[in-house]
């Protein structure tokens, strides 16, 4: 949730640190601060803009560290904001993650006379480093000695007044990367702040430390051995990470859907063999394992979990392999029953840094289960820790609400299902038909984007309702869950997603004239059943917005308002029906004047439990 930036080089560090903090705002935070060698530290509760406003003109130095904090231990105050320091104000530290044994460290140091200034777990680490940092010691040795006493997770950047042209960074469970620039080395918790300065990136792994000086950087592992890390090229442009004139990132990201579908499919459709080519599955061992897998477990959180639910129906319908879908925060604590011989875990994560998803992967790996990732952020921890996987290629997603990433996740599942199905008896003709439909999706998605006015008009009509029910069946049931999540997270309207067949088992009791339902009713194999569910709601005077496929005039007699998407293969309809729901939530949130890209209490990437 928090963000880190750092710099050592030829330039004044402060401008990059402040720009970097602004670039990281999308992650969610409640205070910000920075330390610049020779100039000192500045912190503010609230927005980065407030920090920028208080920076004096002569606040200059050639190295520094900075942080956006999202409170976990201690209130979001200036005192609790990072950077934290030790008793002698020699060591300055910014930290992402949680120091689980901070109380013990604090007690121990307080017994030795150390006085703490904040309530944070992070200060315990700053004080511990300061305490161990004797006159003849290098900063990196003090940091290493302190980290050896720490339990928990960290991405940490540390500076010292005694060694001004140096920043030491270390990682355990919280992402950190270096940007190798012409005029210095940049540090960040994700690529966004670095993109305007350099395309050359080095990702740290857990247990690694980088010692950055004006001469360059050295990376060591937990045993202090030098590690030669590859320098990878960042493909995302700085421009791609900006709003391109749209009022909100969320709208820009929804509007990119045509291109996103093309990018996710690019190079992966093998028309000659009527199958999908997925680079990560080409390895002989992985291929063999998948071919004989008897059980698939899909895991993820939030929207990624809902994408998994659609993936389940796709894989079961097309390939006939039993699939379970588990919320990662539950799966990680459950007693494992899977047989590693023939079970595959697929973890889905846009950021690739979600703590619960990572732990679910690690638990599966401990059991010897093959782990695959469906990940958007290249080089992220999920991408690196899974045995193989598929990248979404959706580009950077800045809005907290998952939109284009969700659609690309669903699409990747369509490719996985096709790939598995063709190995298990789906005919070549059926494979070809499926591919043909996949190829029509960019154009069909773009057609929906030309209908935003109609969606906006319906959204405005319902913008001030208190509750909403989203209903769907089979492929559309997870879309109902996802639609409700989107509405609640950005508009703060209470919304619930249900399988429409469940209505008479309880939720129907809620229905009255003030409790509207949005029903996903495309002309698919469940249409007649869903239409009956709409009748049940109408009989209780409930208002209904129906989302159906082009040409379905029948629905107008049942619904108060109707939205349309083009027709396609039933299994691919979720890709299309999601788009109007994203726009519907967006326009409702806009009408209610909500902070759409950064909803209250939420962060883009949930890197703590």
| Position with the least CB separation from ligand M6R | 302
Least CB distance from residue 416 to ligand M6R, whole Å?
17
Q: How far is CA 330 from CA 334, 357, 363, in A?
A: 6, 10, 12
DSSP result, 24-86: TGGG--SEEEEEETTTEEEEEES-HHHHHHT--TT---SEEEEEEE--SSS-S-TTTSSPEE-
Exactly one of 96, 354, 408, 476 binds ligand M6R (CB under 6 A); that residue is 354
Q: Would residue 460 show up in a list of annotated catalytic residues for this protein? A: no
- By CB under 6 A, tell whether 606 contacts ligand M6R: yes
Least CB distance from residue 351 to ligand M6R, whole Å?
3
Where residue 262 falls (left for φ over 0; alpha for ψ -120 to 50; beta otherwise) is alpha
Longest dimension (CA), the chain: 83
Question: Is the Cβ of residue 163 or residue 385 nearer to ligand M6R in the bound state?
Answer: 385
Exactly one of 63, 80, 122, 351 binds ligand M6R (CB under 6 A); that residue is 351
Of the listed pieces 98-106, 346-354, 436-444, 529-537, which binds ligand M6R according to CB under 6 A?
346-354
Instruction: Report 369-408 residues binding ligand M6R (CB under 6 A).
Output: 400-402
Question: Is the Cβ of residue 39 or residue 415 nearer to ligand M6R in the bound state?
Answer: 415
If one counts every other C-beta atom within 10 angstroms of the C-beta of residue 576, the result is 25
CA-nearest of 518, 517, 493 to 592 is 493
- By CB under 6 A, tell whether 349 contacts ligand M6R: yes
As a whole number of angstroms, the distance between CA 60 and CA 150 comes to 33
Instruction: Report 457-496 residues binding ligand M6R (CB under 6 A).
Output: 485, 489
Asked if 68 contacts 25 with a C-beta cutoff of 8 angstroms, the reply is: yes
Question: Is the Cβ of residue 123 or residue 385 nearer to ligand M6R in the bound state?
Answer: 385
Beta-carbon contacts of residue 215 (< 8 Å; ≥ 6 apart):
none
Question: Is the Cβ of residue 351 or residue 452 nearer to ligand M6R in the bound state?
Answer: 351
Exactly one of 63, 357, 371, 533 binds ligand M6R (CB under 6 A); that residue is 357
Query: Phi then psi for 427, rounded to 5 degrees?
Result: -70, 160
Q: Which helix (H) or strand (E) holds 9?
A: strand 3-9
Instruction: Report 265-304 residues binding ligand M6R (CB under 6 A).
Output: 301-304
Q: Would residue 62 show up in a list of annotated catalytic residues for this protein? A: no
Count the site residues for ligand M6R by CB under 6 A. Answer: 16
In a 13 Å sphere around the CA of 47, the CA atoms on its Cβ side amount to: 6
Q: Which helix (H) or strand (E) holds 233?
A: strand 232-233
Least CB distance from residue 266 to ligand M6R, whole Å?
21
Least CB distance from residue 302 to ligand M6R, whole Å?
2
As a whole number of angstroms, the distance between CA 498 and CA 484 comes to 9
- By CB under 6 A, tell whether 122 contacts ligand M6R: no
If one counts every other C-beta atom within 10 angstroms of the C-beta of residue 504, the result is 11
Q: Which of 62, 312, 474, 604 is catalytic?
A: 604
Asked if 327 contacts 305 with a C-beta cutoff of 8 angstroms, the reply is: yes
In a 13 Å sphere around the CA of 538, the CA atoms on its Cβ side amount to: 17
Instruction: Report 563-602 residues binding ligand M6R (CB under 6 A).
Output: none
Question: Is the Cβ of residue 36 or residue 398 nearer to ligand M6R in the bound state?
Answer: 398
User: Rule CB under 6 A: which residues touch ligand M6R?
Assistant: 301-304, 349-351, 354, 357, 400-402, 485, 489, 605-606
Q: State the catalytic residues.
A: 2, 604
């Amino acid at each position: 949730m928090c963000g880190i930036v750092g710099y050592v080089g030829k330039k004044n560090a402060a401008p990059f640190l402040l720009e970097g903090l602004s670039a990281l705002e999308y992650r969610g935070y409640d205070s910000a601060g920075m330390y610049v060698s020779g100039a000192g530290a500045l912190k503010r509760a609230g927005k980065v803009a407030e920090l920028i406003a208080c920076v004096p003109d002569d606040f200059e130095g050639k190295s520094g560290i900075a942080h956006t904090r999202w409170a976990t231990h201690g209130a979001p105050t200036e005192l609790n904001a990072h950077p934290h320091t030790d008793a002698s104000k020699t060591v300055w530290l910014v930290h992402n993650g949680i120091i689980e044994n901070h109380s013990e460290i604090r007690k121990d140091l307080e017994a030795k006379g150390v006085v703490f200034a904040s309530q944070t777990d992070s200060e315990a680490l700053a004080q511990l480093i300061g305490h161990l940092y004797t006159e003849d010691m290098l900063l990196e040795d003090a940091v290493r000695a302190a980290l050896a006493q720490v339990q928990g997770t960290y991405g940490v950047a540390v500076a010292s007044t005694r060694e001004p042209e140096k920043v030491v960074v270390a990682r355990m469970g919280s992402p950190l990367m270096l940007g190798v620039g012409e005029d210095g080395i940049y540090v960040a918790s994700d690529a966004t702040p670095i993109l305007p300065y350099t395309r050359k990136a080095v990702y740290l792994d857990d247990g690694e430390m980088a010692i950055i000086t004006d001469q360059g950087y050295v990376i060591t592992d937990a045993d202090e051995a030098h590690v030669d890390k590859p320098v990878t090229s960042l493909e995302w442009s700085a421009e791609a990470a900006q709003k391109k004139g749209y009022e909100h990132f969320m709208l820009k990201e929804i509007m990119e859907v045509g291109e996103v579908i093309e990018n996710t499919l690019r190079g992966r459709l093998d028309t000659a063999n009527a199958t999908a080519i997925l680079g990560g599955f080409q390895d002989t061992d992985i291929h063999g394992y998948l071919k004989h897998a008897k059980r698939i477990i899909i895991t993820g959180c939030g929207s990624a979990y809902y994408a998994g639910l659609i993936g389940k129906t796709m894989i079961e319908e097309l390939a006939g392999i039993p699939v379970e879908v588990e919320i990662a925060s539950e799966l990680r604590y459950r007693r494992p029953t899977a047989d590693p011989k023939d079970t595959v875990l697929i973890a889905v994560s846009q950021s690739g840094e979600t703590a619960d998803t990572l732990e679910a992967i690690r638990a599966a790996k401990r059991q010897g289960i093959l782990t695959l990732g469906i990940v958007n952020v290249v080089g992220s921890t999920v991408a690196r820790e899974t045995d193989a996987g598929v990248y979404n290629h959706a580009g950077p997603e800045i809005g907290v609400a998952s939109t284009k990433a969700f659609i690309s996740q669903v699409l990747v599942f369509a490719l996985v299902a096709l790939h598995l199905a063709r190995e298990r008896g789906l005919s070549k003709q059926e494979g070809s038909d499926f591919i043909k439909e996949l190829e029509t999706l960019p154009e069909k998605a773009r057609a929906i984007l030309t209908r935003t006015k109609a969606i906006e008009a319906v959204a405005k009509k319902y913008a001030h309702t208190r509750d909403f029910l989203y209903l769907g069946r089979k492929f559309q049931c997870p879309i109902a869950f996802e639609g409700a999540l989107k509405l609640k997270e950005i508009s703060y309207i209470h919304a619930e997603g249900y399988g429409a067949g469940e209505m008479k088992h309880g939720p129907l009791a809620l229905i009255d004239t003030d409790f509207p339902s949005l029903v996903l009713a495309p002309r698919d194999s469940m249409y007649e059943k869903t239409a009956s569910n709409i009748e049940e709601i109408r009989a209780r005077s409930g208002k209904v917005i129906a989302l159906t496929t082009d040409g379905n005039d029948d629905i107008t007699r049942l619904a108060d308002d109707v939205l349309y998407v083009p027709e396609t293969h039933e299994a691919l309809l979720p890709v299309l029906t999601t788009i109007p729901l994203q726009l519907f939530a967006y326009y409702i949130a806009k009408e209610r004047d909500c902070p759409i890209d950064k909803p209250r209490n939420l962060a883009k990437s949930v890197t703590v439990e």
